[in-house]
Amino acid sequence: MAEVETSPFSTKIEYLSGFGNDFSSEAINGALPQGQNNPLICPFGLYAEQLSGTSFTAPRNLNQRSWLYRIKPSVTHEPFKPRVPGNKKLIADFNQSNCTANPTQLRWKPVDIPETPTDFIDGLQTICGAGSSYLRHGYAVHMYTANKSMDNCAFCNADGDFLLVPQKGRLWITTECGRLEVSPGEVAVVPQGFRFAVSLPDGPSRGYVAETFGTHFQLPELGPIGANGLASSRDFLVPTAWFEDRLRPNFTIVQKYGGELFTAKQDFSPFNVVAWHGNYVPYKYDLTKFCPYNTVLVDHGDPSINTVLTAPTDKPGVALLDFVIFPPRWLVAEHTFRPPYYHRNCMSEFMGLIYGGYEAKADGFLPGGASLHSCMTPHGPDTKTFEATIARGEKAEPFRITDTMAFMFESYLIPRVCSWAIESPFLDHDYYQCWTGLKSHFHKEASVTR
């Protein structure tokens, strides 16, 4: 066991450590069967249930599944029915009928916390995405605002994996494998098919969610970096077994399926797993433990050097979705424009800010806000950042970027933008003006840059 944390919800929370490991955990000694997965009679009269995150015949190094030993099996519920009310701002199949193509640089101000009672499920809304959960290929970017904990219900995403990035307020996530406490500055992944509930120990909460269809997140290859650096597998934390054994009349399972919500009633908690083992598990990661690499002589490195997690495609080096961060670090490059360079990209970039400021935007990009720079749409530092950087001149000393945590969801699929995101009162219609002040510095006399 890796770490113990204090929490207002429990005297201690215990975690297992590692990424992609084959874990095992039991809340009662002896609850895990030995020597086989599916005995005729499980210890303590438990039911054996497998949760598969990949096809049975996926290569061994890619195969993901866990065995859950529970008091009652998850199949024990009434038929699913369309949820009333639903959430019409969720999309998992992106096409011209429900969203639009928009190559303009887009930016949103932080969304207000709702005044009416709103839990995590109702507070989710899709901003953009591409592909389809039906085709098992694509992604969605959501944002959430909530002010109440989920009550007597659990959420299950049949469409894909959720990468949750809280920006305001902690999330207490109860899953079938156990519990996670996730603070701003940490992220959590709840894989496809897991039932979970989100409580809000700090009250109002706001954040971002990336969803992948058909593939799971993994650590990026390190290549010439070598064996160490970026996100270390030891710093990923997995919950330990924890269970409820009590009646829960009219408990509701809310299932997201094809972007639509369905509900099924049952009379017990889905968090009744006494023991489990496998490699298909929820997990969390503290972004402050990321070990960044950077330029030590000239030029600004490509943002891919800051990849925490990647959801790959069949094309080598091409990601369905990369999760990239811009943490505190030193900038030391000589004869170099140190902020991010002006750029047009075959990838599309959705950015968010957890806290602090972002090095390429002096104004307007606020914690809790977001921006979208789609495929081949030019972007880069605003006028203030450019002029301030040039004013420092060639003798600029090394300096440290502090008190900041920005991130990017980057994909090679071209996103469509949801109508409510385009029509949102939080859309910054003046975003383009941050570049209008850029002026020509061209002169015909040769200059020496080094």
The response to whether 15 counts as a known ligand-binding position is no
- The residue from 77, 300, 429, 443 that is catalytic is 300
DSSP E strand boundaries for 29-122: 47-52, 65-70, 81-82, 99-100, 106-108
Report the C-alpha gap between 325 and 308 in whole angstroms. Answer: 7
The response to whether 216 counts as a known ligand-binding position is no
Number of H helices, E strands in the chain: 4, 30
Exposure string of 265-294, with b = 16+ CB inside 10 Å and e = fewer, is ebebbbbbbbbbbbbbbbbbbbbeebeeee
Report the C-alpha gap between 151 and 148 in whole angstroms. Answer: 8
Long-range pairs of 29-35 with CB within 8 A, sequence gap ≥ 24: 31/69, 31/241, 31/274, 31/275, 32/69, 32/275, 32/276, 32/277, 33/69
The response to whether 379 counts as a known ligand-binding position is yes
The response to whether 342 counts as a known ligand-binding position is no
Question: 335 an active-site residue?
Answer: no
Report the C-alpha gap between 274 and 439 in whole angstroms. Answer: 65
Q: How far is CA 295 from CA 139, 291, 298, in A?
A: 31, 14, 6
Report the C-alpha gap between 71 and 123 in whole angstroms. Answer: 31
What residues are designated binding site for homogentisate? 358, 379
Instruction: Just list the catalytic residues.
Output: 300
Q: Give the annotated binding-site residues.
A: 343, 349, 358, 379
